[in-house]
Structure 1
Amino acid sequence: MAAATFQPRVLVSSFVGSCRSTQQQPLHNLFRYNPGQKHVLMRQPRGFTGVANFLFNKRNTDEIQGSKRKRLRPGKLSPRRPVPDHIPKPPYVASKKAPGIASGPEVHDEKGIECMRASGKLAAQVLQYAGTLVKPGVTTDQIDQEVHQMIIDNGAYPSPLCYGGFPKSVCTSVNECICHGIPDSRELEDGDIINIDVTVYLNGYHGDTSATFFCGEVDDEAKKLVQVTKESLYKAISVCAPGVEFNKIGKTIHAHADEHRYGVVETFVGHGVGRLFHSDPVILHYRNNERGRMMLNQTFTIEPMLTMGSIHPIMWDDNWTVVTEDGSLSAQFEHTLLITENGAEILTQC
């Protein structure tokens, strides 16, 4: 399907990004980064989902070639969890409108930096706790319940909840799920890997982070994928500083992935984060020549997704869950960063 046939819809990103078929142009061709202009990411029309799932059901069985692991399938969703009235909520909750990426970077004064540190620290603590829940037999919905409760107990709002219609408070992406997995009734199994993506809205600022965890005894191939993905994030962080071109991030991640023969998912991107959940800049995790430089006191995420096989995504009928085309494993890590005079401060760590 050619890019020109798309109808613009509000974004969902990684949490930003747009799912595309294997024959479409790369994301940055669909979503032009034009500084100073209002941006809206394009989401696939409903027809894409139907085509994707037709191919998914036609070409794939529960079994994955060369693996004992079975393909991920949707479970049952529990009702939406309530948030107490006294907890401040981001504007998109009241408006019920799915937002796009806002123009302009998130650059903060001293007070804003302290607020970002607070939201980042809480997000990191929630993610750390969520990781302790990962055990065989635990459902991803149970993880969502615990994450939801911890966030509201700390006077914060779980940013994914009601963002563009997302029904849960955290993303749980298991095995071949690239991102945006919706917590449901599926029980985690021994040998699974799971990315948990936590964002909290505290005192008017979002802190966004994710990590991939092991469930039980995980094989060496999966462990290596997860380790290399984590390394790629930290290598990218190490090149960040005022005046550095953003495209250096993608070049660094892609080089490390190539060294280990992993694929880099191009469809989903990092983003500015702060008072808004998603804003400029768009952070591409693959080699690119996009312009733009990092600024002092700017905050944004880096969140590479690497795969053992195909980098091409298929979106489920829920219009959120995105899995690899061939069922191969995918891993992701993410941090929110603050650009400082000496480089980059990781805000989302305990």
Structure 2
Amino acid sequence: MIIAKTLEEIELMRESALIVSRTLGEVAKAIKPGVTTLQLDKIAEEYIRSQGAIPGFLGLYDFPNTLCMSPNSQVVHGIPNNTPLEEGDIISVDCGAIKNGFYGDHAYTFAVGEIDLETEKLLAVTKQSLYEGIKEFKIGNRVGDVGYAIQKYCEDHGYGVVRELVGHGLGRVMHEDPEMPNYGKRGRGKKFIEGMVVAIEPMINLGTKNIKQHRDGWTITTKDNKPSAHFEHDVAIVNGKPELLSTFKYIYDALGIVSNEEDEFRAIKL
């Protein structure tokens, strides 16, 4: 069952989402060759708690850390460890926080130093596919419209769209209805309603769409060991249209990036 949120609840969810956004900005400042994912995890946990929030992933389904840290061919759910990042790596950082009883859930894939052009294009296309999906999250559309937009954009570039892992509704629990696949057919699936809040999160592979799960029960990698990218925003339907609750602004501030990509989906100036 889809749980619509009131405008007051959406504002509380925006607060949780922006805590995650600022956390990712703090992590962005520290990502460089030689740093370990456990060090980044510590930065994230300390920042979330400093904001009067609780790490949303820590202990969720028994996950052991604050961040899911997934480098290179890891798709999602990587566990932070003591292996240093290297020049040319990419790393998906997925973060959650709980405040006022509501979750924020937000992800970005970072380049570590200079990366090759092929992987740089994968990141750019995957991020743009997120916005292609968000455009379709509006009254009159269905789940399949978002999935179709993401799938077409990425497959037109020759990439593999992961099937087994999906976005989801978001609220007082991390995973609410509906599931939000990154593939689909127009006009299919559950109807969108006013007050819905979802996490849209393309997981796109440079090669095959196929994945494998590792023995730790968490880590997911591409079947062909080629790189994978992952970007995620929290989005609400307000007045029939998609409105971003999360932002990449704090990441871009840390990295010196100027972008207006979020402008059409933002009702308030951050």
Number of paired residues? Answer: 247
Residue 233 (1) aligns with residue 233 (2): no
Structure 1 residue 312: deviation in Å? 1.4
SS at match of 1:320: coil
Number of the residue aligned with 2:222: 324
CA contact (8 A) 2:194 2:240 kept: no
CA contact (8 A) 1:171 1:198 kept: yes
Q: Deviations over 1:237-257 (max 9, x none)?
A: 112212311100111011111
Matching residue's letter, 1:220: L
Distance 1:169 1:134 in 2: 16
Q: Deviations over 1:178-202 (max 9, x none)?
A: 1001000110000000010011001
Structure 1 residue 145: deviation in Å? 0.4
CA contact (8 A) 2:137 2:192 kept: yes
Q: 2:103 aligns with which of 190, 194, 206?
A: 206
Alignment of 1:175-194 (within 5 A): 175-194=72-91
Distance 1:245 1:224 in 2: 29
Structure 1 residue 233: deviation in Å? 0.3
Distance 2:77 2:146 in 1: 22
Distance 2:8 2:155 in 1: 41
Number of the residue aligned with 1:133: 30
Distance 2:58 2:72 in 1: 23
RMSD value, Cα: 1.1
Residue 116 (1) aligns with residue 116 (2): no
CA contact (8 A) 1:242 1:340 kept: no
Number of the residue aligned with 2:44: 147
Number of the residue aligned with 2:231: 333
SS at match of 1:297: coil
CA contact (8 A) 1:106 1:275 kept: no
Distance 1:209 1:243 in 2: 25
Matching residue's letter, 1:210: A
Structure 1 residue 291: deviation in Å? 1.8
Give identity over the alignment, percent: 36
SS at match of 1:117: helix
Structure 1 residue 106: deviation in Å? 3.0
CA contact (8 A) 1:241 1:341 kept: no
Q: Deviations over 1:140-169 (max 9, x none)?
A: 000000000000111111111011110001
Q: Deviations over 1:270-294 (max 9, x none)?
A: 1000111111001011124742111
Matching residue's letter, 2:39: Q
Q: 2:191 aligns with which of 293, 308, 316?
A: 293
CA contact (8 A) 1:254 1:287 kept: yes
Distance 1:314 1:160 in 2: 21
Residue 346 (1) aligns with residue 244 (2): yes
Superposition TM-score, scaled by structure 2 size: 0.89
Distance 2:105 2:228 in 1: 19
Superposition TM-score, scaled by structure 1 size: 0.69
Distance 1:147 1:337 in 2: 22
The ranges of structure 1 where at least 4 consecutive aligned residues each deviate by more than 6 angstroms after the TM superposition are none
Rg (Cα) greater in structure = 1
